[in-house]
Amino acid sequence: MSTIIYPSPIFGPVHSRRLGISLGINLLPADGKVCSFDCIYCECGFNKDHRPTLPQPTREEVAQKLEAQLQKMQAEGQLPDVLTFAGNGEPTCHPRFAEIIDDTIRLRDKYCPKAKVCVLSNSTFIHRPQVHDALMRVDDNILKLDTIDPLYINKVDRPNGAYDVNAIIERMKAFNGHIIIQTMFMRGETEGSREGEKESVDNTTEEYVGPWLEVVKSIKPQQVMVYTIDRETPALGLEKATREQLDAIRDRVIAAGIPCTASY
Ligand code: SF4
């Protein structure tokens, strides 16, 4: 099973199917994964299989390495379209996340003022005022909401510790539209709670899509991104949602007056 552990704190530039030419900023350790979720589809693998030994990069290290990379790209005449916070886990868990966002905006303004600053987050720390305020300052605040069904969340996203999806939804509304919702749709099955048992992970059915869409409408995001599995997953038995299913979901979101893209 192939997993991806990204260099830290800077990786790429890479071509992202959702974001264009992107320079990655990874606030997690370089030799493992740290996340408040443990998604069964995570390209970095399961948390338990990739425990890091190195620390998270410091605020100063991130700024220094980012500036050096932007200077290099400037000299080569190829500046990024987007600076993307992603990598080996959840970026907003970094204790200096808010200050790192400010450093990044400053460096973006200096070297590539047309580039967007984008954060991909699983939403678990958006209750922290500093995280909320920092996300309000970035261009693309992309937050995960795979479903609103707590059982499905526990089976697929697998939060570490307490997770209240209704509280997350309220926090999403507090962005007043400065939010892009990202939702993974997939089919197939995974190991159940009892040995030998299989459970469906299909969230493309009306049972999941209908209630999710109602909540999305209530959050009033600037955009929705629906996507599906793109790489090998740590859990076996997962299947991609079909192009037709994703298109149908996308069209329902658009019909509700919210821009939406589908990635296959
Ligand atoms: S939230 Fe993202 S990084 Fe964390 S386990 Fe899920 S897919 Fe992986």
Is the bond preceding residue 13 a cis peptide, omega within 30 degrees? Answer: yes
> DSSP letters of 55-68?
PPPPHHHHHHHHHH
Q: Which atom of ligand 1 is nearest to the CA of 36?
A: 4
Q: Which residues, in sequence order, are bridge partners of residue 225?
A: 182, 261
The protein residue with its alpha carbon nearest to ligand 1, atom 3, reads 89
pTM of the model: 0.96
Q: Which amino acid is at 146?
A: D
**Cα distance from N-terminal residue to C-terminal residue, the chain:** 21
Q: Is 6 in the pocket of ligand 1 (CB under 6 A)?
A: no
Computed on alpha carbons and rounded to an integer, the radius of gyration of the chain in Å comes to 18
Tell whether the torsion through CA atoms of 219, 224, 225 and 226 is positive or negative: positive
Print pLDDT tens along the chain (264 aa): 568 999 999 999 987 666 678 999 999 999 999 999 999 999 999 999 999 999 999 999 999 999 999 999 999 988 999 999 999 999 999 999 999 999 999 999 999 999 999 999 999 999 999 999 999 999 999 999 999 999 999 999 999 989 999 999 999 999 999 999 999 999 999 987 777 889 999 999 999 999 999 999 999 999 999 999 998 999 999 999 999 999 999 999 999 999 999 999
Phi, psi torsion values for 73, nearest 5 degrees = -65, -35
Residue 129: which residues within 8 A CB-CB, separation 6 or more?
none
Ligand 1: centre distance to CA 73 (Å): 29
Two tokens, residue 109:
């303004």
Q: Which atom of ligand 1 is nearest to the CA of 35?
A: 4
Cα(171)–Cα(225) distance, integer angstroms:
19
Ligand 1: centre distance to CA 42 (Å): 5
Probe ligand 1: pick from 28, 34, 35, 227, max atoms within 8 Å of CB? 35
At residue 2, the 3 state secondary structure works out as coil
Q: Is 146 in the pocket of ligand 1 (CB under 6 A)?
A: no
Cα(94)–Cα(131) distance, integer angstroms:
10
